[in-house]
């Protein structure tokens, strides 16, 4: 039996589309910031008394269909370790599920860490990153803290994340604006498939990401929060342009998303530098220098309420302990 705690990450340069669906090899590289405020804690117990895998999320037992992706990771661990026992998985999400807040990233990173450790495997961080990727692409980055790059690679061995700067030593923060924490209607997985297959701009997206990856790594080296924020904002808008240009077109935004975007633009026009990004969901994340936090929080509180704002600093990598 082992427990792992992994934090969500929010991509500053997005992953949007797979080259290989089964292995979850992405179309492009990506780069993210791990957050300290959102995380998943998961305990895995391989038990020779069990007659099937049991998966509990937030104390709710999942049915066979809903637990398929979890069982897939357990099967990979069983194959690697030679263990043939079924497992009980008990997972608690300290982040809304399927709302564009990267719950699958923390969830599958924690599952990979707990399951492999419970099975007696001593995986390197790279191999743990590869295993987490098989559950959810963005989970590959949640093995590490701080600023993390996912190298797309070409196969299972070469597609993994690596840290760019685990101990972030400059005052970047991210404010999560919880516009809507309900489960989204179009999953990231199906949204990606539709965008890759039908958006006429997908080839241009690959080129944009390659340029953004080079530029953002330079900005991180220079500790330039404004440039990091600008690149992240433009990258997010271009990712969401893929959903609008798919056939049929769709969007993850709602009216409040657009209201928050305008508020961020208004703040910037008034000399308070801050930048927005959104994943596959309506919730907005605001990137800024810590010294501007109070003014940004005050402005957005007046629009959406203080209880729907969560301030995050760069978060840590995965922690695993055996029971």
pLDDT digits (tens, 9 = 90+) for 26-38: 999 999 999 999 9
Tell me, yes or no, whether 14 and 150 share the same domain. yes
Where residue 131 sits, what CATH number does that domain have? Answer: 3.30.230.10
**Are both 97 and 181 inside the same structural domain?**
no
- For all residues of the chain together, what is the average pLDDT? 96
End-to-end CA distance of the chain: 6
Q: What DSSP letter does each residue of 186-211 carry, written as one string?
A: S-HHHHHHHHHHH-TTHHHHHHHHHH
Q: Are residues 129 and 205 in the same domain?
A: no
161-210 pLDDT tens trace: 999 999 999 999 999 999 987 788 899 889 999 999 999 999 999 999 99
Round to whole Å and give the CA distance between 304 and 253: 16
Domain range for 303 is: 172-312
In a shared domain, residues 140 and 184? no
* 100, pLDDT greater than 60: no
Number of neighbouring beta carbons within 10 Å of residue 157: 10
**Residue 55 included in any domain:** yes
The total of other beta-carbon atoms located within 10 Å of residue 140's CB is: 34
- Give the count of domains, the chain: 2
**pLDDT for residue 97:** 61
| pLDDT score, position 30 | 98
Of 149, 167, 185, the residue that ends a domain is: 167
Tell me, yes or no, whether 27 and 13 share the same domain.
yes
- Kindly state whether residue 234 falls inside one of the protein's structural domains: yes
Choice among 88-92, 280-284, 314-318 with the minimum mean pLDDT: 280-284
Across the range 297-311, mean pLDDT stands at 96
Domain stop point among 167, 182, 206: 167
C-alpha to C-alpha distance for 79 and 100, rounded to whole angstroms: 32
Residues 140 and 17 in one domain: yes
pLDDT recorded at residue 102? 62
The domain spanning residue 289 has which CATH number?
A: 3.30.70.890
Task: Answer with the one of 167, 194, 210 that is the final residue of a domain.
Answer: 167
Say which DSSP state 313 is in.
P
Do 140 and 183 fall into the same domain? no
How far apart CA 163 and CA 15 sit, in angstroms, is 16
CA distances from 211 to 121, 147, 195, 231, 280 (A): 38, 18, 20, 10, 22
177 and 218, same domain (yes or no): yes
**Side-chain-side CA neighbours of residue 139 (13 Å):** 27
DSSP 8-state class, residue 292: G
Shared-domain flag, residues 153 and 280? no
Residues 210-266: tens digit of each pLDDT? 999 999 999 999 999 999 999 999 999 999 999 999 999 999 999 999 999 999 999
Residue 259 in tokens:
């209201």
111 and 231 belong to one structural domain: no
CA pair distance 202, 187, nearest whole angstrom: 19
For the chain, percent helix, then strand, then coil, each to nearest 5?
Answer: 40, 25, 35
Instruction: Name the pTM for this structure.
Output: 0.95
pLDDT of residue 24: 97
Does residue 317 sit within a domain? no
Residues 206 and 261 in one domain: yes
Residue 250 falls inside a structural domain: yes
Distance CA 13, CA 279 (A): 10
Quick one: pLDDT at residue 182?
A: 79
Q: Is residue 23 part of a domain?
A: yes
74 and 214 within one domain: no
In a domain, 52, yes or no: yes
Report residue 101's pLDDT band, with 50, 70 and 90 as the boundaries.
low
- Going by DSSP bridges, is the β-strand pair 160-165/147-151 parallel, antiparallel, or unpaired? antiparallel
Q: How many Cβ atoms from other residues are within 10 Å of residue 69's Cβ?
A: 17
Domain membership flag for residue 236: yes
Flag whether 318 is in a domain.
no
């Amino acid at each position: 039996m082992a427990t792992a705690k992994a934090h969500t990450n929010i991509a500053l340069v997005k992953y949007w589309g797979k080259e290989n669906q089964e292995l979850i090899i992405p179309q492009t590289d990506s780069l993210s910031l791990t957050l300290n405020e959102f995380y998943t804690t998961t305990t895995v117990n391989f038990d020779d008394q069990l007659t099937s895998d049991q998966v509990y999320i937030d104390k709710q037992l999942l049915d066979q269909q809903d637990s398929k992706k979890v069982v897939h990771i357990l099967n990979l661990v069983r194959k690697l370790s030679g263990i043939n026992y079924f497992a009980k998985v008990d997972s608690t999400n300290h982040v809304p599920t399927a709302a564009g807040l990267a719950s699958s990233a923390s969830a599958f990173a924690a599952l990979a860490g707990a399951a492999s450790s419970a099975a007696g495997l001593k995986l390197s961080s790279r191999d743990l990153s590869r295993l987490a990727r098989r559950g959810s692409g963005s989970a590959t980055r949640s093995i590490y803290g701080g600023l993390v790059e996912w190298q797309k690679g070409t196969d299972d061995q070469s597609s993994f994340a690596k840290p760019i700067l685990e101990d972030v030593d400059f005052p970047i923060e991210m404010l999560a604006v919880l516009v809507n924490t309900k489960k989204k209607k179009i999953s990231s997985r199906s949204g990606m498939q539709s965008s890759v297959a039908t958006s006429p701009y997908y080839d241009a997206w690959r080129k944009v990401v390659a340029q953004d990856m080079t530029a953002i790594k330079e900005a991180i080296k220079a500790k330039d929060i404004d440039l990091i924020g600008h690149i992240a904002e433009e990258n997010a808008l271009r990712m969401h342009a893929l959903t609008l240009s798919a056939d049929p077109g769709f969007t993850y935004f709602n009216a409040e998303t657009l209201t928050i975007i305008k508020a961020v633009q208004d703040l910037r026009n008034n000399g308070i530098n801050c930048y927005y990004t959104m994943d596959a969901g309506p919730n907005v994340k605001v990137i800024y220098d810590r010294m501007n936090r109070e003014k940004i929080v005050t402005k957005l509180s007046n629009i959406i309420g203080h209880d729907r704002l969560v301030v995050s600093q760069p978060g840590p990598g995965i922690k695993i302990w055996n029971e």
